[in-house]
Amino acid sequence: MKSFSSSSFAGPHGDALALAHAVTGRHPQALFSDFQWFLYQGRDSVFFTAFSTERYDRDSLANMVAEMVALAPQLTHGFVGARPGQPFPKHLLDAIISMEMVDDFAAYPDAWLGKSADIFERPDLPLFRVMAAVRRDGPDALGRAAILQVRSSHALLEGSDSALLTRSQNAAHGVQSNKANRLPWPERLKSTLRGTLTALFYLAIANVMAPREKPWGFRTLAIERDRLRKLAGKLGVRQRSLLFALVTHALNGEGAEKQMSRKVIGAAYTMLDTRRNDSDDDFFRVRALEARFTVMEDFLAYVRAVDDNVACIEQKDITSYQVMVNSVFRAMRTINRVFPGLPNRRFWRFNGGLHIVLTLVPPHRTYGPMTHGLVEPLYCGAWHSEVNICTFCPGRDYVTLNFSLEQRHLPNVDKVLTLLDAMERRQVTPRRVPPAVERLH
């Protein structure tokens, strides 16, 4: 993993707060970057949830929201009546905070996970929610007295923000593109043309090939980090390659009844990178890469092939795919200004043949007042329309796997642990660990 510092680059709109007050009165999303706009239009959402040894009440949740807003001022953006950078009045706090009493935590956190459509129902409310469930009879045998969940529009928060807030650190974004590092003009032109043509092609083909809305489901798993470290070392692969392989092999299924693909699994995965350029998004730190994993029945051969694939991708230029994607977002926003009905809802149901998105967020370590009382495992995930997602969230002792999937894939989630158990028992021939073995910190 690369650094996930909140540092930013100098930009032409340093007085963002004054600009914010001037433009948000005209349009609530005026300050959104093209990437933010795209995720907002798609109604994409993210969540963070964890158990706590402390009981919550509405006052303690309100104090938590105040701390969150101070550390992540982007949470005050994007809704009708927003005053960017300013504390929320009581009526807004009351509207975005909820509490409930429960008898036990047997169904959690999965019982809470969903598309978070309610975030977008009221345009006059902030684009996030904070909720807690408190155990009626006090702490359980594990010392858990409550469970906390924060849900947000993905336009406001990404995985690195969740990691920073978990550490009670500043998650303000500033300007994330580096205007001093200009890509060569032929590369910029190529990416712009490719992005524009891709946007137009997707708009056209989505109206023909977009599937009907599918039944969707959510699951979580928690795996001890020590198990993953030992198995990755035994197999001679990167830990993230092991995670990618476990998930894609398990979800695809066995034998002739492959659920994703019989030949190649198309995946996008994300990472952070500090080598920013002028074509990067001004808000998001994340960078997406494209991968294709050849399907193999034998898991040992498969995980090593995935590892070689990841190494090959990251030895090449890792900026071009994200630059093209950013061009798609910019083109879509321009089209929307001219034709407000585009992109339509069919567009958001078309994923271009992508089978799964694999997101490895920065390590989450609880520290400071923001997360006092929270205990591992820590869960962090996302919902994108009609896109299968697995978000990997490493903590000190656990890595959680947070799935947003078509319901038909949900029964295969448990095969991740079956594969893990089988590979721990299997005798394998050692291979040399790649020199740039990545750790989950």
Q: How far apart are CA 121 and CA 194, in angstroms?
A: 34
Q: What is the mean pLDDT of residues 340-359?
A: 92
Q: What is the mean pLDDT of residues 106-130?
A: 97
Residue 10 predicted with pLDDT over 50: no
Q: Which amino acid, residue 339?
A: F
Q: How far apart are CA 219 and CA 231, in angstroms?
A: 23
Q: What is the pLDDT of residue 11?
A: 44
What CATH number labels 208-318+341-425? 3.30.559.30
Q: What is the pLDDT of residue 114?
A: 96
Q: Which of 142, 1, 166, 187 is nearest to 71 (CA)?
A: 166
pLDDT digits (tens, 9 = 90+) for 155-174: 999 999 999 999 999 999 87
Q: How far apart are CA 150 and CA 357, in angstroms?
A: 22
Residue 380's contacts (CB-CB under 8 Å, 6 or more residues apart) are 46, 47, 48, 49, 159, 162, 361, 364, 391, 393, 400, 402
Q: Which of 212, 217, 214 is nearest to 114 (CA)?
A: 217
Q: Do domains 16-166 and 208-318+341-425 have the same CATH topology?
A: yes
Global pTM value = 0.91
Q: How far apart are CA 367 and CA 356, in angstroms?
A: 32
Domain boundaries, the chain: 16-166, 208-318+341-425
Query: What fold, for 16-166?
Result: Chloramphenicol Acetyltransferase (3.30.559)
Counting residues of the chain whose pLDDT is more than 70, the rounded percentage is 89
Q: How far apart are CA 149 and CA 106, in angstroms?
A: 16
pLDDT digits (tens, 9 = 90+) for 51-94: 999 999 999 999 999 999 999 999 999 999 999 989 999 999 99
Ramachandran category for residue 16: left, alpha or beta (phi over 0 → left; psi -120 to 50 → alpha)? alpha
pLDDT digits (tens, 9 = 90+) for 392-415: 999 999 999 999 999 999 999 999
Which residues sit opposite 380 in a β-bridge? 48
Q: Which helix (DSSP H) or strand (DSSP E) does residue 265 occupy?
A: strand 264-272
How high is the mean pLDDT of the chain?
89
Q: How far apart are CA 354 and CA 267, in angstroms?
A: 6
Q: How far apart are CA 352 and CA 324, in angstroms?
A: 15
